[in-house]
Amino acid sequence: MLLEVKDLRVAFNTASGTVNALNGVSLDIMKNESVGIVGESGCGKSVTARAIMRILEKNSVMTGSVKLYSDNGMTEISALPTESEEMRKVRGGKIAMIFQEPMSSLCPVYTVGNQLNEAIRLHRDVDKTQSSEIAIDYLRRVGISRPEKLMNDYPYQLSGGMRQRVVIAMAVSCNPSLLIADEPTTALDVTVSAQILALLHDLQQSQDMAVMMINHSLGIVAQSCTRVMVMYLGMIIETASVDELFSHPKHPYTVDLLNSIPKLNLNKGSRLAHIKGHVPDPFNIPKGCTYHTRCRFSKKGICDEQIPAVNQVNDGHFVQCYKYSEHAKLWE
């Protein structure tokens, strides 16, 4: 076990009311494992990552348990003060994160070299000369051909793909146990996206680190991960290996997500499959199963009453749906 999250809940207090962004997320990640988290925009994927890193906004309220395990024991991240020295050592050192937009991670007024050196010296016991050597080495590892020159460049002088490579180099240069990649290929073209995904895979293998890949693309997750977690409205509703999930999806939402992927062999004039309705208002989350308002299998008096328990339907395959509970006969 590397990371263990139990009953993680995050709410944001706003002028319009309270937004319940996470509603009891529980997950685990093993050492060297590659886990994907998928779901529609607004389902809580990025909030989960930010809660683990303890970089939520000031108007947030977080409860639940987040534990990080290492050879030196267990660190309960959720119990650490956000700006404490121990939390700073975890954030960036033991757990690193790649954000959707690399420019949000890079300061425009400092050179690439300055920013890499600062991150490395913060988490590794090296002097300035050694940190520069490490920075150049990692820039070379992420496929930058002239790293010595790039050290003197500013982020605005780089393309989107180059900036993302710099961010990846900064993240992995401190040898984290877990790398959280939040939509790392957003706004990149197909060719560059494929290169970034291949790079992350190679780095994971060479550095023996776990990767938590957050993405809305099922194709990217299928290509990059060994296990998948499906999120909907702040909860993980299905977990399975990649092969199991794509071959035998159980939750109606997972089935609808897979069916909505455009097919190359679709007959001319046929309509694309879609998920009916809209994601419910987070200010007013429906009672019962959060997907029952859009689910074609929903049964009144059951699905709209209480949140279903998580049931194991196969080895390593868990689903939060009444169809796989003691009420299963109602759907036969």
- Residue 245, token pair as written in the block: 């999930």
When pLDDT is averaged across residues 194-206 and rounded to a whole number, the result is 87
Q: What is the pLDDT of residues 120-150, one digit of tens each?
A: 998 888 999 999 999 999 999 888 888 999 9
When pLDDT is averaged across residues 241-254 and rounded to a whole number, the result is 94
Provide the β-strand partners of residue 236: 231
- Residue 331, token pair as written in the block: 């759907």
pLDDT more than 70, % of the chain: 99
When pLDDT is averaged across residues 306-314 and rounded to a whole number, the result is 92
Provide the β-strand partners of residue 6: 65
Q: What is the pLDDT of residues 71-125, one digit of tens each?
A: 888 999 999 998 888 998 899 889 999 887 767 778 899 999 999 999 999 888 8
pLDDT value of position 75:
92
pLDDT value of position 277:
82
pLDDT value of position 41:
85
pLDDT value of position 194:
86
Between helices 128-141 and 160-172, what is the axis angle to 10°? 130
- Report the side by side order of strands in the sheet with 73-76: 17-29, 3-14, 60-70, 73-76
Residue 169 pLDDT > 80, yes or no?
A: yes
Residue 264 pLDDT > 80, yes or no?
A: no
- Residue 293, token pair as written in the block: 């308002």
pTM attached to this predicted model: 0.90
- Decide: helix, strand or coil at residue 69: strand
- Residue 4, token pair as written in the block: 């263990």
Residue 38 pLDDT > 90, yes or no?
A: yes
Average confidence score pLDDT of the chain: 90
Residue 186 pLDDT > 80, yes or no?
A: no
